[in-house]
Amino acid sequence: SLPLTPNTLVRWITESSDRYLVTYFLGLNSVGIYSAACSFGNLIQFLINPLQIILFPELSKLFDENKIDELTVYMSYSLRYFLIISIPAVFGLSAFAKPLLGIFTTENFVSGWFVIPVIASSGLLAGIAQIFINTLLIVKKTKVPTYINFAVAVLNVLLNLLLIPWVGIVGAALSTLFSYFFMAILCTHMSLKHFKHNFYFYDIIK
């Protein structure tokens, strides 16, 4: 479990540095608006956690039994159904961003509604990355996710430092989006070195 400890630390940096830097550059009022919007955008994470609980043990079992073909099918279908559920969820959160903030917060926080679609999209990309991280863990490449997460954390901090002073809280949201896009690309690339996946893009588009 030791290789996963720094992995958890750098993930925390990726997930939390934006709020600290928003506070530093823009003040407490802005971080309050940003945090309120993020709390709704991050609802997409509720789709990731159950999938992770179910997916990793099943993939490990199939790998230990050397059922590689079944493993790749299981993996591909997991990605497929995650996207089929999460993409509409992102659009739903985006469409109702302003009403959600209006109902559950005060008028001062509604101005941050545009952050919700960006953070929700970031959650979708984080889910894709997490699915592919599972394949790296089952082949005992536990250091690779740590290296990826470290690179993503550094990128996230640098983007926040660049974008927050320039475009405010939307810069923090975009930093998160770009960072998780980078993470999803890296995790997918590394996973494809070990397993061949069918992404079912046509079915997802339908």
Does the structure show a pLDDT above 70 at 206?
A: no
What tens digit of pLDDT does each residue of 27-37 get?
999 999 999 99
Percent of the chain topping pLDDT 70 = 92
Its pTM surpasses 0.75: yes
How many Cβ atoms from other residues are within 10 Å of residue 89's Cβ? 17
How many Cβ atoms from other residues are within 10 Å of residue 5's Cβ? 9
Per-residue confidence (pLDDT) for residue 2, from 0 to 100: 41
Find, among 96, 55, 86, 97, the residue nearest to 191 by Cα.
Answer: 55
Region of poorest pLDDT, from 52-56, 104-108, 124-128:
52-56
Does the structure show a pLDDT above 70 at 200?
A: no
Which distant-in-sequence residues (6+ apart) come within 8 Å of 104 by Cβ? 40
Higher pLDDT, 200 or 13: 13
Averaged pLDDT for residues 34-60: 88
How many Cβ atoms from other residues are within 10 Å of residue 29's Cβ? 11
Percent of the chain topping pLDDT 90 = 60
Per-residue confidence (pLDDT) for residue 4, from 0 to 100: 52
Quickly state the pLDDT bin for 114 (edges 50, 70, 90): very high
- C-alpha span between 167 and 17 (Å, rounded): 17
Classify residue 10 by burial, with Cβ atoms within 10 Å: 0-12, 13-18, 19+. buried
Own/partner long-range contacts of 23-30 (Cβ < 8 Å, ≥24 apart): 25/164, 25/165, 26/164, 26/168, 26/169, 29/108, 30/168, 30/169
Per-residue confidence (pLDDT) for residue 3, from 0 to 100: 47
Averaged pLDDT for residues 155-172: 98
Averaged pLDDT for residues 164-174: 97
